[in-house]
Amino acid sequence: MSRGFGLQQGAEAVLYTAPFLFQCEPTFQASTPSDADAAHAQPIIIKRRFPRAYRHRTLDKKLTRGRLASEARNLLKARKLGVKVPAVLRVDVDALCIYLERIPGDTLKEKLARQTKNDKEQVETTLKALGAACATLHQGNIVHGDLTPSNVMVTTTQESAPSVALIDFGLAQTSTLAEDKAVDLYVLERAINSTANDGDEAEPFGHVLAGYESRASKGLWNAVRTKLDEVRARGRKRTMVG
Amino acid sequence: MSDLSPRQHQEDNSPSLVLGIEGSANKVGVGIVSCKGAVRANPRRTYVTPPGTGFLPRETAQHHRAVILELVSEALAEASLDSHACDDKGKRRVAAVAYTKGPGMGGPLVACAVVARTLSLLWRVPLVDVNHCVAHIEMGRLITKARDPAVLYVSGGNTQVIAYNNGRYQIFGETIDIAIGNALDRVARALHLPNDPAPGLHVENCARSGKRLLDLPYAVKGMDVSFSGLLTKAESLSTRAKRTYDRNAPLPPPEACLASDASASDDDEYTDADVCLTLQETCFAMLVETAERAMSHTGADSLLLVGGVGCNKRLQAMAEAMCAERGAFCHATDERFCIDNGAMVAWAGWNQYNAWRVGASDTSDEAAMKAFPVSNGFCTQRFRTDDVYAGAWRNLEEEGDEPTAKKAKS
Ligand SMILES: Nc1ncnc2c1ncn2[C@@H]1O[C@H](COP(=O)(O)OP(=O)(O)O)[C@@H](O)[C@H]1O
Ligand SMILES: [Mg+2]
């Protein structure tokens, strides 16, 4: 990745990286910052939402603006709760851009895809930390809305255990309902268990739950665990008849 | 669709047709399909109720019972077979009878299963039980030649985002309450749109005259969607909507309703067309968004639309736009195969039967009857798409080049 900017295209946003000190706008200038500058530069992420052509314009505007606002709002709330999330540096409502602190490391999706037998312990710790982060979020009545492994950043260092940060809060909401929290976990469960390779442990999601239980209050844990069973069974119970 | 020529040469003399019966909801159909996937016959009838009403299980079953024998005769005649399933040389051409085991409405399912069991006994051929959803997917794959697509399965009774994984059609996301087709039908009812030929078609046509987007909740929950809250709101909006729909009026071009930026609050005056427009735009955006997520999760390079709502042109356009943006391909079929039909059950039945033949050491008629006994011919209203081991036949495809290249030993 070049130092000036990098590019990541998601479903409804383009992401640029930029060195914080120089240029906050996503320009495509070829000039690279000098090394001295780079040493002070704290790289940031600029996430720019773009219109989706398949949606009706009016609906698209409503959704895009709504998601930008809820991303900013819920990142702040999550941070206050003590969940590791990128800091919000700036929100540009007209350009539909949010400027974020850049979390070093890889997404959990990449980590899981690349894991080998030797990483088993580290993956376990990571999943537990992820569970704990979710519990903190839920304890504060925020649901993430899109808890998939590509929305979890994992930072590993030599010295300490891997740390987990949550990103992509566009679908996040305030909710006190155990149901909504259970759905959060259910999404994560399906995504994580389906990325497991052959020969891996059958249910890596178990570690997430263990981490969740260790952090959540008794009340939250009991309510969410019961609801999670309900949500899992929901599909199976539904008579598929109009 | 081009090579589905109704007549295709038999290349060997073993019976190579399957007759399939579908009737899990308000359509009943009998299809005859060859082992190569050529559709020889596919007649269908729909139970249509007066505007403002929906179809109930009992009446629907009565309807199916009244027309099904006629449909069987029609299908046989169209495929140039007699009532013994023999051709003009007196040779039995039908290798198996397939029927929909579920999911669906109990009464209508049973009405069809009875006939399937009877034919199986009469002709002494295996009785293959088929999952309705799997049949939709396999028919869609056959028609469009999509090898390994993500699937958006949208109908009156089902709403699922599916991807093939580990031998199963795994459900990535689905509705947590009512099905999309059901939501559309119920709004059609609230607006008193006609049910003939299908309420959803009138919602689609009515929406073309829409001018403004109203406010409906957008409910994507993780990978799942929810339509019940949105439906309640749409039904209540319907009561105050000005009725403008005329089924005989010429349709405005499809872009017309998308051109305007106007939105309206609930207090303004609005029409049935605005309600239909809003309903479609909101529901379909939810579906396309979840389909896209499944595609990015599985890395699928194509999307297959199946089920009755899959022939909605607006949904197709939206899915195509989404796919185009990510460099993927969108496959859709028309109402002959999107909407419930007998051929899809026959084709899924053939795949199941053929997978058995390829794997079995003894493929004699007796062994076949034992493997697919009439006594197994019951129905179930709950039958999950991922309950079926589709690897049985999909694994055969992976070895050969064509979907049915692998021949049985017999
Ligand atoms: N703050 C961040 N630090 C580091 N990487 C990030 C950050 N935000 C996003 N990314 C990277 O960009 C990808 C897409 O960002 P995300 O916010 O999830 O957008 P989308 O809505 O398109 O999924 C993430 O999966 C991650 O790889
Ligand atoms: Mg993301």
Whether A114 shows a pLDDT value over 70: the answer reads yes
pLDDT of B56 higher than 70: yes
pLDDT-derived band at A81, boundaries 50, 70, 90: very high
| Ligand nearest to the backbone CA of B326 | 1
pLDDT surpasses 70 at B299: yes
Residue B13 has what pLDDT? 59
User: How many angstroms separate the CA of residue A18 from the nearest CA in chain B?
Assistant: 25
Name the pairing type of β-strands A142-143 and A173-174: antiparallel
Asked if B23 and B68 count as a contact pair (C-beta separation under 8 A), the reply is yes
**pLDDT band, residue B371 (cuts 50/70/90):** very high
Contact B122, B86 (CB under 8 A): no
Q: What is the pLDDT, as a whole number, of residue A41?
A: 63
Task: Return mean pLDDT, chain B.
Answer: 91
Class of domain B150-299: alpha beta
Contacts of A63 in chain B (CB under 8 A): 218, 285
Chain B residue numbers with beta carbons less than 8 Å from the beta carbon of A239 are 103, 381-382
Please check the confidence at residue B251 and state whether its pLDDT lies above 90.
yes
Beta strands B39-41 and B27-34 are: antiparallel
Q: What is the pLDDT of residues A182-201, one digit of tens each?
A: 999 998 998 888 776 555 56
- Distance (Å, whole) CA A132 – CA A215: 5
Between the two ends of chain B, the Cα-to-Cα distance in Å is 30
Q: B404 C-alpha vs ligand 2 centroid, how far in Å?
A: 39
| Residue A181, pLDDT score | 96
- Torsion angle of C-alpha atoms A117, A120, A121, A125, degrees rounded to 10: 160
Share of chain A above pLDDT 70, in %: 82
The ipTM (two decimal places) reads 0.86
Supply the residue whose CA is at minimum distance from atom 8 of ligand 1: A167
Distances (CA, A) of A2 to A6, A16, A18, A27, B279: 6, 11, 10, 13, 45
Q: CATH 3.30.420.40 spans which residues of chain B?
A: 17-141+338-399, 150-299
Q: Which pLDDT does position A242 carry in this prediction?
A: 38
pLDDT score of B360 more than 90: yes
Give the position, in ligand 1's atom list, of the atom nearest the Cα of A10: 22
d(CA A140, CA A142) in angstroms, rounded, equals 6
Could you please report the per-residue DSSP string of chain A? --SS--EEE-SSEEEEEEETTT--S-----PPPPHHHHHH--EEEEEEE---TTS-HHHHHHHHHHHHHHHHHHHHHHHHHT---PPEEEEETTTTEEEEEPPPSEEHHHHHHH--GGGHHHHHHHHHHHHHHHHHHHHTTEE-S---GGGEEEE--SSS--EEEE---TT-EE---HHHHHHHHHHHHHHHHHHPPTTS-S-THHHHHHHHHHHS-HHHHHHHHHHHHHHHHHHHH-----
Mean pLDDT of B203-210: 96
Top-confidence residue, B130 or A11? B130
The closest alpha carbon to B94, from B86, B102, B103, B105, belongs to B86
Q: What is the pLDDT of residues B140-179, one digit of tens each?
A: 999 999 999 999 999 999 999 999 988 999 998 899 889 9
| Percent over 90 (pLDDT), chain A | 63
What are the pLDDT digits (tens) for A87-96? Answer: 999 999 999 9
Q: What is the pLDDT of residue B404?
A: 45
Give me ligand 2 centre to Cα B328, in Å: 19
How much distance in Å is there from the Cα of A10 to the middle of ligand 2? 7
**Considering just the CA atoms, what is the radius of gyration of chain A in Å?**
19
Q: How does residue B263 score in pLDDT terms, banded at 50, 70 and 90?
A: confident
What pLDDT sits at residue B368? 96
Whether residue A146 lies in the annotated active site: yes
- What residues in B contact A227, CB-CB < 8 Å? none
Write out pLDDT tens, residues B87-110. Answer: 999 999 999 999 999 999 999 999
Tens of pLDDT, residues B10-41:
444 578 999 999 999 999 999 999 999 999 99
Of A106, A146, A168, A180, which residue is the catalytic one?
A: A146
Q: What mean pLDDT do residues A125-148 have?
A: 96
Q: Which pLDDT does position B410 carry in this prediction?
A: 37
- Kindly report the number of other CB atoms within 10 A of residue A222's CB atom: 13
* Contact yes or no for B325 and A53 at CB 8 A: yes
B297, B320, B340: best mutation site toward chain A, by most A Cβ within 10 Å? B297
Average pLDDT over residues B1-7: 39
Nearest to B105 among A59, A171, A241 (CB): A241
Ordered by where they begin, the domains of chain A are 5-101 (3.30.200.20), 106-241 (1.10.510.10)
| pLDDT score of A25 more than 90 | no
Q: Is A31 on the interface with B (CB under 8 A)?
A: no
CATH of B17-141+338-399, one of 2.40.50.100, 1.20.120.640, 3.30.420.40, 3.40.50.970: 3.30.420.40
Q: List the structure tokens of B206.
A: 């009515």
> Once rounded to an integer, what is the mean pLDDT over residues B329-336?
94
